[in-house]
Chains A and B, each alone.
Chain A
Amino acid sequence: MSSKLSFYVHIPYCARRCGYCDFNTYTPSELSISSDLSGVSRTYIDQLIKEIEFAHRTLTQDGSHSPITVPTIFFGGGTPTLMEPTDLGRVISAIGNHFDLANGAEITTEANPDTVTPATLEALREAGINRISFGMQSAASHVLAALDRTHKPENVERAVVGARAAGFDEVSVDLIYGAPGESLSDWEATVDSALALPITHISAYALIVEDGTKLGAQVKRGEVVMPDDDETADKYLLADEKFTGAGFDWYELSNWSKPGSHCRHNMAYWNGSNWWGVGPGAHSHVDGRRFWNVKHPRAYGERINAGADPKADEEFLDAQARASENVMLRIRLREGLRILDLPQSDRLDELEDYARAGFIDQESWRENRIVLTRTGRLIADRIVRSILF
């Protein structure tokens, strides 16, 4: 395998579940464990470390001893900050013990603005984490309520400022737009207050209603009405305009950063690089093989404790699947997609139409690349379908 491997570390715990969330995460009551997760942190981290050892064994079993460099680590969830910072540090150390943790590696954790204090932020820095991403979501309390988020809007500023004070140079916030009840001006206020923070990176997602979530059920029953797509499109345009104006350039459809502050870990996903996801339900990609772990923490723990592979299933990408993924992912990036890399050469007329209609950047088109404009990004999936079939 290539000599680089990123790590995603999944922390599948949340104090409570948000209505829109379909991530593989569990509340203490769902797992019948104590509400402060005491006792879980240590055992769970031990399991993660065992999987890191397992990853190492798997990747070196062909006898190759060429060093594997780890450029990025990302703690996601769930709520990683429910774990003791020192426990997160143990994971980083374990990775460093078995792999070659790169100098200046990007090590990110997601964090809930409510659960961090100056002390925890210090401790996270001390554990080796150098990038932090806060789930801000919205500055409007009625929108936060609609999303089931419990934090207070004012805590976000305190958390971000605290992170800077603790020495985090890379601070990001996550925003969600298009929640039920959110007006265009609510969203504008959210964008403005995010831009007022001392941050280097912003992710902003249109809310997706997923099957199997509380929100999904409410929408199906007609109890909640989602804002229409045109309004959500307006929100995207507004955000992109404001972020860009404030010096945050888009580098992926839903991500903006100050120069040089893009998330290198996420770029690894979109570039088709290798990564290993540790923890229940975590996905991995190694050289055209995608595999993912069993979902439930208990099942995962049993496998790990028995010394078994926690993998639930896997798939091998054939040339066609790789080509599809390449189009699907790269078209979302600022660098765009080379026309040379299109799997089918007979789509140029259709693409020409998109370029003429302002969905593909004219300059990139002349240079035989497909880089989407603001409006083009909003219909990226449609353009992908035009390219692929």
Chain B
Amino acid sequence: MPAIPLANAPQPAATSPAQIRNFCIIAHIDHGKSTLADRMLGITEVVEQRNMRAQYLDRMDIERERGITIKSQAVRLPWRSGIDGQEYILNMIDTPGHVDFTYEVSRSLAACEGAVLLVDCAQGIEAQTLANLYLAMENNLTIIPVLNKIDLPAAQPEKFAEELSKLIGCKPEEVLRVSGKTGVGVEELLDQIVAQIPAPVGDATAPTRALIFDSVYDSYRGVVTYVRVVDGKLTPRDQIQMFSTGVRHEALEVGVISPEPVVSKGLGVGEVGYVITGVKDVRQSRVGDTITMYNNPAKQALAGYKDPRPMVFSGLFPLDGADFPLLREALDKLQLNDAALVYEPESSAALGFGFRCGFLGLLHMEIVRERLERESNLSLISTAPNVVYNVTSGDGKEIVVTNPSEYPDGKIEKVEEPIVRATVLAPSEFIGTIMELCQERRGVLLGMDYLSEDRVEIRYTLPLAEIVFDFFDQLKSRTRGYASLDYEPVGVAEADLVKVDILLQGEKVDAFSAIVHKDKAYAYGTMMTGKLRELIPRQQFEIPIQAAIGGRIIARESIRAIRKDVLAKCYGGDISRKRKLLEKQKEGKKRMKMVGRVEVPQEAFVAALTTDADIDKAKAKAKE
């Protein structure tokens, strides 16, 4: 039996690097990573059969529900190799699967020597997996290609083994075949991890250097920092220091996850585990930073610490203005665990007080919003997401615009917008459709490669703003769900952008302003004015709705004046009833926001600012 009872396994701080293998699993959502991880926990017997549950490592409800991993984890698995009969410690470092969390992925990769490339053999590799694979290859990781779900009737192992072998330059027969569900091939995979992935290399006598690859806020323990020790060692009571900030902390507790936290005497070279210092905010213990000793600091930090940069901005407003303090509290709490989330108070004439929030991407935005609503029981309006623009005004002043309302009036010298390099993987029958979509979105084709006979990789540069605006939904619907997308920022480019304002009865409504490409300004203007005409109820005067660029009107609609708003009859018995009806209408009027003299229902803002896809989602939700 290749499993080793935990108590008899090599102990933390007393395991030689030669016995250690650090690996991660690169996989797309749904390709079975969590199931495979569950199986590994079972086979290595770190989780007893009776304690096993599905997606054991996914801690948040939202992770389990959406089937995606947001925060990475590291699990210590003892294993006796079926090949050489020796005892080993495998550290499985889980990686987030989504493009928004690329930086976290790269830090996870930096903590490993090898990666299991896990691909569903009914679907083939997806764009984000490919992106992470390239990242792993750039980090010189040993790649073990694995096809999962070989038990499925729709499995096409030959086809996808061919595809993988082309991508990583191995032979198709070297691609392992497993089923996380049935356990077939998993023991062999563990043996191959031992055999193929190199042991970590480090200097046990050098000043301590440990890479932070994850940092999680726990309401009981404070921040739990996940580290990979490169040189030296980490022991409890050490006075440690963060390389980036120079701040000193005491290591109150050091341990490993197996898969529940186990306190240890320390962590040695090549080992993976956690440190608790009592800090309350993940920003004090940031992913990518290097931990060293206060008394004997290392000279050089480990490679690459960078601040995750928010790419997408959106305003979050409580539906009920009185909830503003609650929203602030909720954001503060969330930030303890999410170093990438940034926000500052914002006030909108139409939506009241809220926060302008910056996110890594659309999924990050959606997750944050969902967590705020779920964990703090808030109802929120989010404004249409936008990207960051560098605007140079006529007098040469440069302004960073994260909100259309900051866009300067008057003459604009130039505007720069963020550009991404996007990779789309799809069946080749959709090439035309995908190219058409990318062209519509101001894309520039970089290249195209066939992954296999009928699957292609298409590369484009695209303005991030175009991706942010329902690109993914469009891509999915136009390719019947087959296409996958990945993108990475590649800088900024000058573009012919304008700000379109929406005016109600001549008054600008900040919440509806948008920065769009000149060629799309007209379409945005007609879309928004048309939407508002449907959403705003008729009032006693005609309401002109205009879209304007500066002083120039580019689209107009109008809401005709209401002509009848009276109940014809009012006799003795009607009086009480009518008065009560009035009282009810008073409540309705409270939910109206006044824009000048125009009453705009809250729902109009929600509906106008969300995309049609969001509205459909909301409708579907309401039906449940």
Contact = CB atoms under 8 A, between A and B. Distances in A.
Interface of A: 8, 204-206, 208, 229-230, 232-233, 236, 253-254, 266, 269-270, 275, 277, 281-285, 290, 292, 315, 321, 324-325, 328-329, 332, 353-354, 357, 359, 375, 377-382, 384-385, 388-389
Contacts of A236: 564
A282 B573 contact: yes
B585 interface: yes
B306 interface: no
Given A233-B564, A385-B589, A328 B578 contact: yes
B507 to A, nearest CB: 15
A382 B576 contact: no
A201 to B, nearest CB: 15
Nearest to B589: A389
A379 B582 contact: no
From DSSP, what is the main secondary structure of chain B's interface residues?
Answer: loop
B564 A206 contact: yes
A229 B569 CA distance: 16
A384 B575 CA distance: 14
A321 B579 contact: yes
B563 interface: yes
Interface string B576-593: 101100100110010000
A328 B571 CA distance: 12
B579 A378 contact: no
Given A8-B572, A283-B572, A378 B586 contact: no
Given A269-B575, A379-B540, A205 B582 contact: no
Interface in B152-193: none
B437 to A, nearest CB: 38
Contacts of B573: 277, 281-283, 292
Contacts of A204: 568
A380 B586 CA distance: 15
Given A377-B566, A385-B585, A315 B576 contact: yes
Nearest to B587: A389
Nearest to A10: B573
Interface string B503-529: 000000000000000000000000000
Nearest to A176: B568
A167 to B, nearest CB: 27
Interface centre among B562, B582, B597 (most CB of A within 10 A): B582
Contact of A253 (B566, B576, B586): B566
A236 B582 CA distance: 23
Contacts of B562: 229, 379, 382
A329 B597 CA distance: 26
Contacts of B620: none
Interface string B419-450: 00000000000000000000000000000000
A270 B578 CA distance: 13
A270 B540 CA distance: 25
Nearest to B597: A353
A269 B574 CA distance: 10
B564 A328 contact: no
Contacts of B564: 206, 229-230, 232-233, 236, 378-379
Contacts of A282: 573
B565 A378 contact: yes
Contact of A328 (B565, B568, B582, B586): B582
B209 to A, nearest CB: 67
A357 B569 CA distance: 25
A206 B579 CA distance: 19
17 contacts: A206-B564, A229-B562, A229-B564, A253-B568, A269-B575, A284-B572, A292-B573, A325-B579, A328-B570, A328-B578, A328-B582, A359-B540, A378-B563, A379-B540, A379-B562, A379-B563, A380-B566
B568 A381 contact: no
A230 B562 CA distance: 8
B566 A277 contact: no
B540 A290 contact: no
A206 B565 contact: no
A252 to B, nearest CB: 8
Nearest to B560: A230
A198 B277 CA distance: 98
Contacts of B7: none
B568 A205 contact: yes
B533 to A, nearest CB: 16
Contact of B540 (A205, A254, A292, A354): A354
A375 B597 contact: no
B567 interface: yes
Nearest to A359: B540
Nearest to A322: B579
Contacts of A381: 565-567, 582
User: Which 6 A-B pairs rank lowest in CB-CB distance, beginning with the nearest?
Assistant: A233-B563, A283-B573, A205-B568, A382-B565, A233-B564, A229-B564
Nearest to B586: A389
B482 interface: no
Contacts of A208: 567-569
Interface in B580-624: 582, 585-586, 589, 597
Nearest to A281: B573
A254 B576 contact: no
Nearest to A277: B572
A212 to B, nearest CB: 13
A282 B573 CA distance: 7
B202 to A, nearest CB: 72
Given A353-B597, A378-B566, A380-B566, A324 B540 contact: no
A208 B568 CA distance: 8
B72 to A, nearest CB: 54
B134 interface: no
Given A357-B540, A384-B582, A388-B582, A283 B576 contact: yes
Given A205-B568, A290-B576, A380-B565, 15 more contacts: A208-B569, A233-B563, A233-B564, A266-B571, A269-B570, A282-B573, A283-B576, A290-B575, A328-B570, A329-B575, A357-B540, A379-B563, A379-B566, A382-B565, A385-B582
Contacts of A315: 576
Nearest to A332: B570
Nearest to B585: A385
B4 to A, nearest CB: 71
A254 B568 contact: yes
Contacts of B570: 253, 269-270, 328-329, 332
Contacts of B575: 269, 283, 285, 290, 325, 328-329
Given A253-B568, A324-B582, A385-B585, A375 B576 contact: no
A328 B579 contact: yes
A322 B582 CA distance: 13
A359 to B, nearest CB: 7
A315 B582 CA distance: 16
Contacts of B579: 321, 324-325, 328
A357 B566 contact: no
Contacts of A382: 540, 562, 565-566
A153 to B, nearest CB: 22
Contacts of B540: 354, 357, 359, 379, 382
Nearest to A23: B573
A269 B571 contact: yes
A359 B564 CA distance: 12
Interface string B542-573: 00000000000000000000111111111111
A204 B562 CA distance: 21
A275 B569 contact: no
Nearest to B590: A389
Nearest to B576: A290
Nearest to B588: A385
Interface string B359-376: 000000000000000000
Contacts of A254: 568-569
A229 B567 CA distance: 11
A375 B540 CA distance: 10
Nearest to B541: A357
A292 to B, nearest CB: 7
A291 to B, nearest CB: 10
A253 B540 CA distance: 18
